[in-house]
A and B are shown apart, each in its own frame.
Chain A
Amino acid sequence: MPDDWRFGGFGLYVHWPFCAAKCPYCDFNSHVSAKIEMEDWRAAYKREIARYASETGPRVLNSVYFGGGTPSLMAPEIVETVIETAAKHWTFANDIEITLEANPTSVEAGKFADFRHAGVSRVSLGVQALNDADLRRLGRLHDVATAMTALETARNAFDRVSFDLIYARQDQSLSDWRQELTTALGFSPEHLSLYQLTIESGTAFGDRFRRGKLPGLPDEDLAADMFILTQDICDAAGLPAYEVSNHAVPGQESRHNLIYWHGGDYVGIGPGAHGRLTLDGQRHATTTELSPGKWLSQVSRTGTGELEREALRPRDHAGEYLMMSLRTTEGLDMKRYRDIAGKPINMFDINDLENLGLLQSSGDRLQATRDGRAVLNAIITRLLPDD
């Protein structure tokens, strides 16, 4: 069987852990820090790329992704160094995608030209809502007008632009969301990430929710209606879903994220970054030190930011492939699954879920239907391989 990176692609993920402010719903590894030694970070990223490249050997790199945190707060010089270093060690694909997550504030929009110059070709803007009151509730530092200006600036600076919206917010009705999404599509985006608000434990929202202080969240039925409405509206606008929460004009999908969902390889550098690396036919999961300060000092002291490296057992590898690939409309390749797991998915379960209209299959391709994607956790739970 082909290695994962040949099958699903190969990408580089760079985690920038700092934010200007922490959002109440966010459970990502992000920190607010007054003083950041840009030079130290540049050196550490460089060192990490070189270390991984020596392990992977020559490969074609399909994508570089700067995520966070808020990577638009990075000095453009760091971004440039990362891209240059990656290009030195690996071969860039002709259509390589280089994405940077950005907040749509005026300060950051002012740096877009420099990021473009550094080599960034795509930005993903965290717009989140088209309603100032809700933006404040979500703890965002921008308003709608600023976001729109930043979107315009981004479109002029980069080849491709995507933006995020969060829905199923407090007190949001179905028609509120219809209106907001229609407005968003009015900007003719080629890519949208549309996330249902998820209350994660360990966040400010999580604490409030636990104490019963986060009223007005939709129940399961309204949440389902919102999800279906989102599919309908985006389909009609020519941005069908290609993944549970991601919509694009065909051809404009995020290549980087597809690496994750296709079960490809990715190098993860920066505090808390995860990676998947196939080395000598064995897939590994890598994790890094979570705390920015510790990560930085560990890299400079020991030459590696890695915390753990686990050789994935076939059943974990297969379970992960199942969980990730069924998120896409393209679905799962059953032959690939068999190759990884050493055995097929239980046919009885597949038939059962097909009869319920939640899965569909043709040949080796297994896909979750639109209704199936809405209850994907239940489907995956059913299909996950047993111990």
Chain B
Amino acid sequence: MTDLDPISRKFQKELNAGTTALVLLALLARKGEALYGYEIAKQLAQVDPELALGKQGALYPVLRSLADDGLLESWVEPSVAGPPRRYYRITPAGRRALGDWAHLWRRTRRLVEDIVEEGTSEGRTP
């Protein structure tokens, strides 16, 4: 996963552009409570140790844009140790969006799986 050629890395980046937002939204919906950026990154690292979604530094701007769109609410709280933390929690609008996005995702996944399955198995068999 680590040593991809530039073209595949570019593909990976494009693939991640939308899925990261969906994954973050789903993660925060599952937790229900407010989490701060670093906690979110760590939660994600547990399920994605290989960083299939890319470097964790790229998660923060996505969180911010989700908050700008009103899908997450966010606020800053001072912390005892270290810099202030920005917390994020999913909003009702975020839950609605998650429902729609999950539907779109399933549809895309079915299509992609079918076509990729055919394409790669044809390539293997001749």
Q: Is B a genuine binding partner of A?
A: no
Interface residues of B (CB under 8 A from A): none
